[in-house]
Structure 1
Amino acid sequence: MTAKAVENAKVTNGKITQRFLDGKGLYLTVRKSGAKTWQLRFIKPDGRESNLGLGRYPEVSLLDARKKAAELRKLKAQGKDLAVEQKKQKLEVKRQACNTVKKIAEMWLETASSRVVKKTAEGYRQKLNLHILPKIGDVPIHDVRAAMWIDAMRPLENKGKLETVIRTTALFRRIMNFAVNNDYITHNPIGSMRDVFKSPTRANFACIDISELPDLLTMVVQSTMRPANKLLFEFQLHTLTRSRESTGARWEEFSFDEQIWYLPAERAKNKLMHKIPLTAEVISILKAAKSLCRGSEYVFPSRTSLKKHVHSETLNAAFKRLGLGGKMTSHGTRSLGSTTLYERTDFESVVIEALLSHTDRDGIRDAYNRNKFFQKRKRALEWWSLHIVGLTHGLTSYSTIEL
């Protein structure tokens, strides 16, 4: 057939449909209404004849139909079932068409939300709804380009919301990695973009210098701070845990036979159960705390109710009363431990990061619960505990409490 013949093809002799052969099994089917479609006639593996629709004319031209037919005949020569192959192609086209940034982001959010606390998941959704979906939510995931993302973030950058730009970019990078890992796209076009946007001036958690730690320890021990709060400070310092993790500690979480604190996944920031070694010093702190907890299920109960744990901001308030507001925070205990271990020991970074439960770092999640790393973490924490006690020559709060 020629392109002109295809254009002029009509049903004759009062027929409802009429077929015009192009060759090698390719037909143009014309209906009485004037509608025209391309079909390829072929033999199935079981010997039966069958037809495959190749699209409507004029959307699919004669040349396009011949190309499609040639591709299918090539597949048939390879022993493949053309009907099955066409269904797979249609499913893939449909799959790609519906895989917008919005749909992929929603799938990622459903998975990610199961691994973090509710507040963090809400933060993810808020960033999606405010900064991502309104800009590129309808874009097919395979069409996303770095330049497209940069354009979406420029208005935020121009408003000076640099921290939001950094955090939202990191979030979107995770979504695109999810798309790669689930075979929706072949690579992630969103890199670090460290040199693309202006860098925010970061304000770290207030923390004293390492050289001031002996004075801080002595100040706490000799202060009029509540004994339970002194123990909380030392407990958090020795275990290098987060404020919410330490203040919410329950007695049932501790195995004194194994000398392990099993911090439950639901209370850990990263939603992973954390096995924390109990050093001799931490056990002494816990024994002292037991004598003060008045039978509460919590290691550090609230002053007003034994059914509640002490507030997560308790230490920060205590530091302010000691005149350390702006100089030291509860989170600063982790910074002191991290800096000291990195600067004064030869422990591997993977061990130190696992101590701090930084499972978002490369290699840490895999090492998190392995027994060999537990033993290394135990040795590192034992070094840290002995180092703390050595700074005050054995002067501690728990040694002053009568058991």
Structure 2
Amino acid sequence: MPKLAHPLTDVQPRTAKPKDKPYKLTDGGGLYLLINADGAKYWRMDYRHGSARRTLAFGKYPEVSLADARAKRMAARKLLDQGIDPGQDKKDRERLKSEAAANTFEKLAREWHTNKLASWRESTAKDTMRRLEIDIFPEIGSMPIATITPQQMIAALRKIESRGAQEVAHRIKATCARVFSYAIQSGIADRNPAADLKDVLKPAKAGHFAAITADELPAFLAAMDKNDARLFKPTRIALRLMMLLFVRTSELIETPWAEIDLANGEWIIPWQRMKRGKLTVNPDETNHHVCLSKQALALLNELHTLTGGGKYLFPNQRDHKKPMSNGAILMALKRMGYQNRMTGHGFRALAMSTIKERLGYRHEVVDRQLAHAHKDKVESAYDRAKFLAERKVMMQDWANFIDGIASGNVVAGNFGRKAA
């Protein structure tokens, strides 16, 4: 008969002394304490799985007590009763733990961001990553994504709120929710701690893009002239074209020279570059006629002498293969003293209100020039064609109106007119 092992007492592991060779103190059920010649003591468990004899390591004594070792033995025996190899189970759990630790929020966020690049504009991709790098990665970026709690997510978002950036906090929350969703779909996480945070953030302040009024135009134009020497010349021209043409900022700074017909004074933006043309569902496939005034055409001719040899009207100063940054317009406005008072989009709001109120043009005509969305696509294409002649006259009147203000001859009243 096999010799029965007597359970160990608490005193035996504590008082066991090293010998010339390693030896064991057995506790039964395969568990024993291995005492090495150097005095180090380790808990081990021998077991059989199938035809194989194997050994489990439970840790070092006294960090792992006798009671702890017995609990580990019991857990291993339960696995054996279920036909599971406890050694392999331990390896699998350690592998999953290692993978979870490697799958941090930042790692998954960058993977998600890379997957989205093909469907995003460059500026969107850059802004999204910049916000994550500034506001989120320092807070939860190094954490395994599967372990992040709603409380940790809330703490990161409220830190953004604390500086008064409610709108940014809401946008970041939505971005983080998409990253968690990506992790869930990838089998790495099983919950989305950002998805249901609807009431924990302060409401984002509703409002419009900052824009000056028509009454502020004289001072604004004077500030523009005063700061000409401080601005990079293409940036100065970009500001004036934003004023004259009131296209969207991206539509201007991302324009290739191939779209501009200087000889005939035409600029037609392909529908693929327009905001509504970039929709993934039912994009608006109507090209946009910008309608160039004489003043705008003169600026484009001047600009051509500076950048006409490259691809873009406004190349990036560091890399001419890329267009100017969106921030260049905002930085120019900041230098003029109009930070938080005027934006690139503000030129559109200024033109819409002033052309209607001071020049007397109908809303529909200005709206078509702004390339706003139309509910009926067929009617939209018809309206844009129908109003084209009137829009050409309107854009020249607008340029003349601005020139009149700049020269001190402020034009008021209704001098809008329909094209013959």
- Give me the TM-score of the superposition, normalised by structure 2: 0.54
One of 14, 21, 26 as aligned partner of 1:21: 26
Offset from partner CA, 1:366-386 (integer Å, 9 cap, x none): xxxxxxxxxxxxxx6335424
Contact 1:11 1:18 in 2 (8 A): no
Contact 1:39 1:53 in 2 (8 A): yes
Shift of 1:187: 0.6
Matched residue SS, 1:21: strand
Tell me the matched-pair count: 302
Distance 1:268 1:310 in 2: 19
Shift of 1:278: 5.1
Distance 1:19 1:117 in 2: 67
Q: State the superposition RMSD in angstroms.
A: 5.2
Distance 1:7 1:270 in 2: 76
Shift of 1:163: 1.9
Paired AA for residue 85 in structure 1? D
Contact 2:8 2:26 in 1 (8 A): no
Task: Label 1:77 to 1:308 Cα distance change in 2 as closer, same or farther (>3 A).
Answer: same
Task: Label 1:29 to 1:117 Cα distance change in 2 as closer, same or farther (>3 A).
Answer: farther
Matched residue SS, 1:183: coil
Distance 2:277 2:144 in 1: 31
Paired AA for residue 179 in structure 2? I
Distance 1:171 1:75 in 2: 42
Distance 1:383 1:60 in 2: 78
- Give me the TM-score of the superposition, normalised by structure 1: 0.55
Q: What does residue 126 of structure 1 align with?
A: 130
Task: Label 1:272 to 1:72 Cα distance change in 2 as closer, same or farther (>3 A).
Answer: farther
Distance 2:86 2:11 in 1: 28
Percent identity for Structure 1 against Structure 2: 23
Structure 2 unaligned blocks of 5 or more: 1-6, 212-240, 260-269, 293-302, 315-325, 330-343, 358-362, 393-420
Q: What does residue 267 of structure 2 align with?
A: none
One of 165, 169, 172 as aligned partner of 2:173: 169
Q: What does residue 53 of structure 2 align with?
A: 49
Task: Label 1:387 to 1:65 Cα distance change in 2 as closer, same or farther (>3 A).
Answer: farther
Shift of 1:335: 9.2
Shift of 1:36: 2.0
Larger Rg: 2
Matched residue SS, 2:190: coil
Task: Label 1:27 to 1:325 Cα distance change in 2 as closer, same or farther (>3 A).
Answer: farther
Q: What does residue 251 of structure 2 align with?
A: 243
Distance 1:248 1:38 in 2: 72
One of 62, 66, 69 as aligned partner of 1:62: 66
Q: What does residue 381 of structure 1 align with?
A: 377
Q: What does residue 366 of structure 1 align with?
A: none
Choose between structure 1 and 2 for higher RCO, CA contacts under 8 A separated by at least 6 residues: 1
Shift of 1:65: 2.5
Offset from partner CA, 1:8-35 (integer Å, 9 cap, x none): 25256x3421122222222222212232
Distance 1:18 1:269 in 2: 79
Structure 1 unaligned blocks of 5 or more: 208-228, 252-260, 290-301, 342-379, 398-403
Contact 1:205 1:332 in 2 (8 A): no
Paired AA for residue 41 in structure 1? D
Shift of 1:91: 1.0
Distance 2:159 2:94 in 1: 39
In the TM superposition, what are the counterparts of 1:313-352 in structure 2 within 5 Å? 324=354, 338=373, 340-341=374-375
